[in-house]
Structure 1
Amino acid sequence: MVLLASYLYVNQAPDKSVAELSPRWAGEPSQFIQIAGMNIHLRDEGPKSDKEPIVLIHGTSASLHTWDGWVDELKAQRRVIRFDLPAFGLTGPDPQNNYTIEHYADVVVAVLDKLKVKKSVLAGNSLGGYIAWATAVLYPERVSQLILVDASGYPFKSESLPLAFKLSKNPITSRLLKNVLPKSLVERSVKNVYGDPDLVTSELVDRYYDLTLREGNRNALKERFKQTVPGDLAKKISTINVPTLILWGRKDKLIPIKLAMKFKKDIINSQLVIFDELGHVPHEEDPQATVLVVKKFLQANKLQLPL
């Protein structure tokens, strides 16, 4: 009992306010926009004359920062928009506690409306991929092209689930995580989704750790797992008819590669590129190699983007 008490004391991790976190994680060009009762943390970069911006949607427990490498390569020629989803990053919990896939798609469209964007290229990783293709199904007139990066949305069984996800899904341990969060747990979970765990830096762990502590995010994560689950909407994936690029890390232990094949089969106008050495977040693990494929895809579909 003494050892347990000592462990819990040492690893106390109270919530942090947006004001505390912003100096490090919301520098230029970050902004906050009011949508659906939330202060959504967003970055809008590149030429505003771009009529079909690229919108990047992150996955569970990530943030807009996961796309830094892609944005650095794209923003000179293209307008690139990214934001922290409800339940994550500096955006934090949805005030209505609504984390259904339909609501997430509504939020994407609300962001586009706020920025006066009629149509965009939607790219998403994991949960963000689910949201991207769901938006294409529910609002087809708003999406010109899709980029799915190790996307979810079909039922699947993981080879290995990050420990932080396991604990957040458990009703007992999730209550413990409201006040206690060892940084080593976050580090272990991030390494779990990389093909090469040695690429996980201390700064990367700091980012995931800090933004998990944003007030309300830990409880929102538990609700996200309850509400955003594969459902009947997947039956409509075959209705997607926009050019679609599917990127996948062969070493993804969270979402099996057989789902990449299923997306390729169900979306008629699609192409699949597999990265043999990468894991569940290939855009973050090797942004240079993955964004090069994205540039070629955009060029092939008549968007002027020099390599």
Structure 2
Amino acid sequence: MAANLLALSAVALLLAGCAGLVGQRAAQREARAEATYPPTGRLLDVNGVQVHAHVEGSGPDLVLLHGASGNTRDFTFGLVDRLKSDYRVIAFDRPGLGWTETIGDDTANPIAQADLLRAAADQLGVRNPIVMGHSYGGAVAMAWALRDPDGPSALVIVSGATYPWPGEFGWWYPFISSRFGENVVVPLVTAFAPHRFAERVVIKGIFNPQDVPPGYADYIGVGLSARRESFVANTRQIGKLKPYLQYMAPHYPELTQPIEVLHGNRDRIVGLELHSLAMVSQVPGASLTVLDGIGHMPHHAAPDEVVAAIHRAAERAGLRKAQLVPAAHGEGP
């Protein structure tokens, strides 16, 4: 008996020591990522929660909401520069990602995310913004409008995850969200997973069939998404999204503002038919642009189309005059 207890004690000490080493290495990599990819904008205190907002430009307010695993750098890589001469662009990190803190159990709730970011927007003096959401950010944009129907002047939904899907996710999301996943697997990923793998495989899959833009993988800050808290937050957000969409989607037809929807017909992450075609078939103010040959990242693969959709939303909302296209030579009176 004494020998067995001694053996068990030795195993427990060994595991505790390994856990300590893993935690130490994870913390070191997190600190390195945060030093390498600092906030590019302002850190707001919103009811005790830190919210990161990148603000540039002047004109009508335009809010940008990024997708899963992302942060504001997905927009500041190129899109913000295309927009800041026409709009005051406000890109937010969503809760738990980038430099915005988690909000407890509500971190996985797109409605609570929208409430937090609306409060942050209020601090910045945002009024009747155009709200653009990409992928998961599309769900948060729709929640923003549902919670404040008279707030957004227009919505732009790009590859948006906005409707519940048939079936359930596989084992990965429940497993990572389990106590074992959070306490054992996630620290190991943070401590040891090579960032180059994420850059070469994961990011490539997100952009497929397009190539990843040169410099994007180094700019986006994979290490920020690999931090333990962010990894768990992102996993929970994806894994728990469906019930919120089941609640939200029946209310979309109540929205009255113009909605511009863009979706690539080669998107294999968020389905065109299930989400965007459903939107335009059920919501009177929604207009769809299908991007031929484009995958899940139109704001990088077809940025001119995304900017044009934002301009159309602004025109439909009365925030921008319609641009007249000159007649081609040989046409007209």
- Equivalent pair of 1:14/1:178 in contact (CA under 8 Å): yes
**Residue 225 of structure 1: which of 231, 238, 241 is its match?**
238
Q: Kindly tell me: are residues 118 and 291 of structure 1, through their superposed partners in 2, closer, same or farther at Cα, counting changes over 3 Å?
A: closer
CA apart distance, 1:288: 3.1
Distance (Å, rounded) in 2 between the aligned partners of 1:182 and 1:206: 16
1:190: how far off?
1.7
| 77, 81, 100: which one aligns with 1:72 | 81
Cα–Cα, structure 1 residues 262 and 254, in superposed 2: closer, same or farther, change >3 Å? Answer: same
Of 252, 257, 263 in structure 1, the residue corresponding to residue 272 of structure 2 is 257
Q: Tell me, in whole angstroms, the C-alpha distance in 2 between the residues paired with 1:95 and 1:155.
A: 24
Query: Which residue matches 2:306?
Result: 290
TM-score if structure 1 supplies the norm length?
0.82
Report the CA distance shift for 1:197/1:13 in structure 2 as closer, same or farther (over 3 A). farther
Residues 133, 157 of structure 2: 8 Å contact kept: yes
Which of residues 120, 128, 150 is equivalent to 1:111? 120
- Report SS of the residue matched to 2:85: coil
Q: Secondary structure at the match of 1:263?
A: helix
Cα deviation, residue 171, structure 1: 6.8
Deviation at 1:165, TM superposition (A): 6.7
State how 1:19-168 maps to structure 2 within 5 Å. Answer: 21-27=34-40, 30-47=41-58, 50=59, 52-68=60-76, 69-95=78-104, 98-156=107-165, 168=176
- Gaps spanning 5+ residues in structure 1: where? 1-8
Deviation at 1:144, TM superposition (A): 0.8
What residue in structure 2 maps to residue 179 of structure 1? 188
* 2:65–2:134 Cα contact (<8 Å) kept: yes
Gaps of 5+ in 2: 1-20, 324-333
Q: Does the CA contact (< 8 Å) of 2:44 and 2:52 recur in 1?
A: yes
SS of the residue 1:141 aligns to: coil
Identity %: 22
Report the CA distance shift for 1:18/1:135 in structure 2 as closer, same or farther (over 3 A): farther
Task: Report the AA paired with residue 285 of structure 1.
Answer: A
Q: Any idea what the Cα deviations from partners look like across 1:82-120, whole Å, max 9, x if unmatched?
A: 111101112242245532122112112111221122321
- C-alpha deviation, 1:39, in angstroms: 1.6
Secondary structure of the 2:262 match is strand
1:239 partnered with 2:247? no
Q: Which has the larger radius of gyration?
A: 2
Residues paired across the two proteins, number = 291
- Contact 1:18–1:214 (CA under 8 A) maintained in structure 2: no
Q: Distance in 2 between matches of 1:20 and 1:150?
A: 28
Looking at structure 2, the residues matched to 285 and 266 of structure 1 have their Cα atoms a distance apart, in angstroms, of: 28
Q: State the TM-score, normalizing by the size of structure 2.
A: 0.76
Q: Which residue of 2 aligns with 1:3?
A: none
Change (3 A) 1:98 1:77: closer
Q: Is the 8 A contact 1:13 1:213 kept in 2?
A: no
Alpha carbons of 1:288 and 1:86: their partners in 2 closer, same or farther (altered >3 Å)?
Answer: same
Does structure 2 retain, via aligned residues, the 8 Å contact 1:92–1:214?
A: no
**Any conservation in 2 of the 1:45–1:80 contact (CA below 8 Å)?**
yes
Distance 2:177 2:265 in 1: 26
Which residue does the alignment assign to 1:209? Answer: 222
Q: Which residue of 2 aligns with 1:14?
A: 26
User: Does residue 1:304 correspond to 2:320, yes or no?
Assistant: yes
Q: 2:175 and 2:211 mapped to 1: Cα distance?
A: 24
